[in-house]
Amino acid sequence: MYYLSIEGKQKLKGSVSISGAKNSALPILAATLLSQNPVSISNLPNVADVKTLLKLLENLGASYETTQEGIKIDSSTVNSACANYDIVRKMRASILTLGPLLARFGHCEVSLPGGCAIGQRPIDLHLKALEAMGAKIQIEQGYVIAKAPEGLKGATIIFDKVTVTGSENILMAAALAHGVTKLVNVAKEPEVVQLCEILKNAGVKIDGIGTSEITIVGSYGKLLPLQDIKVIPDRIEAGTYLCAGAITNSKITITDVIPKHLEAVALKLQQMGFGIEITDDSITILPATKILPSDIETTEYPGFPTDMQAQFMALCTQADGTSLIDERLFENRFMHVSELSRMGASVKLKGHSATVEGHRELTAADVMATDLRASSALILAALVAKGTTKIHRIYHLDRGYENLEGKFSALGAKIERLEE
Ligand code: EPZ
């Protein structure tokens, strides 16, 4: 086991290149189950979640080789439709294999992902949509047993809630379905849009990409000719580094990004007093003369992302006043509060709202990562804290941040990965 040792009060400078998006790489890998041919994927982030899903696909019978730009994966050789518990429990996004496996094989068994630190995270909307497409779904001994022997049928699906992986699962199922599927209240996250573009590039007739209403004409079970894919940049990794510049009041640049994907985050930073300079593939953050408190409400894209809530809470501890944060998407996404409090933050929780006191002089402590984004908030706090902070259980961070200490060190942070 490793921990991160971070010496605080260091200014940052320079630029950092942003990796491919974990939350796009995962549905893309699942979508290779729909492909009749091997698929080259570049800009794939070297993070634990991607490795876990690749292992799952290999267990199902896929094979892949590492190439100069990324990987070349052949899932046409997949011969099993059972995604077992020991892998799915490591990464709930394995549920993204449910839609493609069922559409391709007419049956599948996928372990229920179980909850996680940020909430119960049900998949009822995924299952309801597949039933509307003609699937028979049973839950047995912690597994989703899904059957659609004649294949899935096109249907009209209205999602009760906006669900990112739910939208992705059903888009992939609909791509192979018999007939036309209309999805209403679909997620509009850039990762969902990239999946739609990939299906379109494979010849799938799909309308409404990027809107909350998508119509998709299925291939009647025929596998698709997926084309080469370049994973879009990770907007959450990008936002995390912008917050690192903000909390240390440094000027830094993030490169290889799509600024449009960070509009809500950049606007929030500007409202807090930071300067933002944008080019077509980079964003520079400039120090604030005074960090202003903020009112944040997390919501679906293009609104303020829940995956940036913890990072902004760390930043708000340094604001000139009290900030309010309203977490609207998950019921328990304040796991970082107790750890930030141990470093001197003062945060009052009431239901899904947090009141964050500003002007807090943070001090180093031994802290524990609990979930991916909460852990990145602890790094940000450590960068500005007095003394050397130790962050334990950093396997949470390795799930979604590529070369973390390498990137932070290159920006001037005093950060080391040490053995417990
Ligand atoms: C995706 O999770 C992301 N993960 C999450 O990022 C992100 O926080 C979340 O979307 C919201 O943006 C991936 O893309 C792999 P949801 P997902 O289904 O799809 C409820 C990270 O840090 N819901 O959009 O699981 C659910 O409980 C991760 O990278 C149901 O009630 O989230 C939540 O309250 C964390 N029933 C809300 O909808 C369902 O069937 C949004 O969840 C599905 C979801």
CA of 329 to the centre of ligand 1 (A): 8
Taking the CA of residue 96 as reference, the ligand 1 atom at the shortest distance is 15
Q: Please state the φ and ψ torsions of residue 385, each to the nearest 5 degrees.
A: -80, 155
* CA–CA dist 210, 197 (Å, integer): 10
**DSSP-H helix ranges across 263-351:** 263-271, 309-316, 335-342
Amino acid at 415: I
Q: Which residues have CB under 6 Å of ligand 1?
A: 23, 26, 93, 119, 121-126, 161, 163-166, 306-307, 329-330, 372-373, 400
- Per-residue confidence (pLDDT) for residue 114, from 0 to 100: 66
pLDDT in tens, 168-213: 999 999 999 999 999 999 999 999 999 999 999 999 999 999 999 9
| Pairing status of strand 282-286 against strand 252-255 | antiparallel
Q: How far is the CA of 113 from the centre of ligand 1 (A)?
A: 12
Considering only CA atoms, which of 381, 404, 395, 359 is closest in space to residue 312? Answer: 381
pLDDT of residue 260: 98
Nearest Cα neighbor of 46 from 227, 231, 226, 197 is 231
Which numbered atom of ligand 1 lies nearest the CA of 191?
14
Residues near 406 by beta carbon (within 8 Å), at least 6 away in sequence = none
What was the pLDDT predicted at 142? 87
Which has the closest alpha carbon to 285: 301, 273, 297?
273
Ligand 1: distance of its center to the CA of 105 in Å? 26
Closest atom of ligand 1 to CA, residue 300: 12
Instruction: Please report where in the chains the tokens 């059972």 appear, as a residue.
Output: 82
Tokens of 73: 């994966």
How far is the centre of ligand 1, averaged over its atoms, from the C-alpha of 386 (Å)?
35
Closest residue by Cα to residue 148 from 95, 111, 105, 97: 105
From 121, 167, 191, mutation site for ligand 1 pocket: most ligand atoms within 8 A of C-beta: 121
Q: What is the DSSP letter of 118?
A: T
Task: Render the burial of 126-139: b for 16+ CB within 10 Å, e for the rest.
Answer: bbbbbebbbbebee
Residue 404's pLDDT is 94
Query: Of the residues 82, 108, 116, 243, which is catalytic?
Result: 116
Nearest CA to ligand 1 atom 30: 122
82 is catalytic: no
Q: Tens of pLDDT along the chain (420 residues)?
A: 999 999 999 999 999 999 999 999 999 999 999 999 999 999 999 999 999 999 999 999 999 999 989 999 999 999 999 988 888 877 888 999 999 999 999 999 999 886 666 777 789 999 999 999 999 999 998 899 999 999 999 999 999 999 999 999 999 999 999 999 999 999 999 999 999 999 999 999 999 999 999 999 999 999 999 999 999 999 999 999 999 999 999 999 999 999 999 999 999 999 999 999 999 999 999 999 999 999 999 999 999 999 999 999 999 999 999 999 999 999 889 999 999 999 999 999 999 999 999 999 999 999 999 889 999 999 999 999 999 999 999 999 999 999 999 999 999 999 999 999
Give residue 198 CA to ligand 1 midpoint distance, Å.
21
Q: To test ligand 1's pocket by mutation, which of 26, 125, 161 has the most ligand atoms within 8 angstroms of CB?
A: 161
- pLDDT for 90: 78
Regarding beta strands 156-158 and 180-184, do their DSSP bridges make them parallel or antiparallel, or are they unpaired? parallel
Tell me what pLDDT residue 332 has. 83
Q: Collapse the DSSP code of 416 into the 3-class scheme (helix H, G, I; strand E, B; otherwise coil) and give the result.
A: strand
Atom of ligand 1 nearest to the CA of 305: 12
Ligand 1 mutation target, pool 28, 50, 164, most atoms within 8 A of CB? 164
User: What pLDDT is stored for residue 115 in this prediction?
Assistant: 62
Question: Which atom belonging to ligand 1 lies closest to the Cα atom of 168?
Answer: 19
Distance CA 9, CA 414 (A): 9
Token reading at 129:
């949509």
The pTM (predicted TM-score) of the whole model is 0.97
CB atoms within 10 A of CB 193: 18
Task: Look up residue 206 and give its amino acid.
Answer: I
Look at phi and psi of residue 226 and say left if phi exceeds 0, alpha if psi is from -120 to 50, else beta: beta
Task: Count helices and strands (H / E) in the chain.
Answer: 14, 24
Handedness of CA 321, 322, 328, 334 (dihedral sign): positive
At 384-406, the pLDDT tens digits run: 999 999 999 999 999 999 999 99
